[in-house]
Amino acid sequence: MKMMLNRCLVAAAIAFGVAGGAAAADIKVGVNVALSGPNSSLGIPYSKGMQAARAYKGEIGGHKVEMILLDDTSDPTVASRNAKKLTGEEHVDVLMGVKTVGYIGFSDAWGDLVYDALMKAAPAAGIKVVSNERYARADQSVTGQILKILALKPDAVMTGGSGTPGALPYLALAERGFKGGVYGQHGLINPDFIRVAGASGQGALMPTGPVIVAEQLPDDYPTKKLALEFRKEFQQVNGSPTTDAFSAYSFDGWMVFANAAERALKKAQPGTPEFREALREAIESSKEVVGVHGVYNFKPGELYGVDKRARVIVKLDNGKWKLDQ
């Protein structure tokens, strides 16, 4: 979870621009931080550190590095305007900012899990978490919690819900015209969330397994071939296409089992204690087993067995998940 959320957080912390037009002799860096307002206690040290870095290494590959520093005044609207100026007018090659994020999630173990992962990943990404609002799965509104978050003026909001009730923060944020980034996680990759969130979920960013956007992956992505085969098989067996992440998790569990069983059969026969022990050992020693959500490698004490190949960032665009590149 930490690894998967960290990519989402870094996306919120650093935006990379590839707009052309920079002077041939210079590499242009745009810095968009709070030099005034309530977030200046973070922004000022960041700007000073950036200035020190430029002084230390102000030339790269024979190109001078030019830094353009703008104050976002701790206001997300100003930060957005600055970003557009830096990319659209100054044509910077890279845009760097300091960000704050508000959190709202379930008041249960899932909400705790997402929040804990956020708190572990945020500092390394240069992000300050400014709230920890919670709500019950059966609640019908999160208006009070969202108003508290908006009063803190975060640049983005991270949500820790799932399924249908996971849409409540998106609805409330949209009703109040929030323009910052809104991020979710695996628990929201399902059609019920899309149906309930509707237009309020437009542009939401989430980490998920690559199977969700299998056809959009590069042809050399290790899980793409099996993911497309899984979709075809699911359609044939169930009479409808797969539209969620969870059916693919169980499919991957079967792939790991099948790979381990082939190896266990070389030591013992099914139905015996020896086979079950050999199967357990084979599962725990699985290496480079390709699934649709990732490539699995297990060792004692490692419960998940996946690496960065098990995570992509997707964006909700008109009711469809799109690979965010």
Residue 104 forms part of a structural domain: yes
Measured in whole angstroms, the distance separating CA 166 from the mean position of its chain's CA atoms is: 16
For residue 24, what pLDDT band results from cuts at 50, 70 and 90?
very low
Q: If we measure between CA atoms, which residue out of 208, 204, 5, 7 comes closest to residue 117?
A: 5
108/203 same-domain check: yes
109/198 same-domain check: yes
What was the pLDDT predicted at 61? 79
Residue 66 forms part of a structural domain: yes
Residue-range definition of the domain harbouring residue 294: 224-309
87/112 same-domain check: no
- 């020190």: which residue's tokens? 52
Residue 11 forms part of a structural domain: no
Which of 177, 208, 239 lies at the terminal end of a domain, its last residue?
A: 208
- For residue 317, pLDDT over 70 is answered with yes
Indicate the pTM of the whole model.
0.67
Q: What is the DSSP string of 46-109?
A: HHHHHHHHHHHS-EETTEEEEEEEEE-TT-HHHHHHHHHHHHHTS--SEEEE-EEEEEEEESSH
Q: What is the DSSP string of 121-145?
A: HTGGGTEEE---EEE-TT-S--HHH
143/229 same-domain check: no
What was the pLDDT predicted at 240? 86
269/297 same-domain check: yes
Residue 320 forms part of a structural domain: no
For residue 6, what pLDDT band results from cuts at 50, 70 and 90?
very low
118/69 same-domain check: no
Q: If we measure between CA atoms, which residue out of 294, 244, 225, 207 comes closest to residue 4?
A: 207
Residue 291 forms part of a structural domain: yes
Residue 218 forms part of a structural domain: no
131/115 same-domain check: yes
202/248 same-domain check: no
Residue 1 forms part of a structural domain: no
Segment 14-23, tens digit of pLDDT: 333 333 343 3
Total number of domains in the chain: 3
Which of 76, 92, 108 lies at the terminal end of a domain, its last residue?
A: 92
The CATH number for 159's domain is 3.40.50.2300
Which of 208, 234, 264 lies at the terminal end of a domain, its last residue?
A: 208
132/182 same-domain check: yes
27/77 same-domain check: yes
Q: What's the mean per-residue pLDDT of the chain?
A: 84
Residue 172 forms part of a structural domain: yes
184/240 same-domain check: no
- For residue 86, pLDDT over 50 is answered with yes
109/201 same-domain check: yes
What was the pLDDT predicted at 97? 67
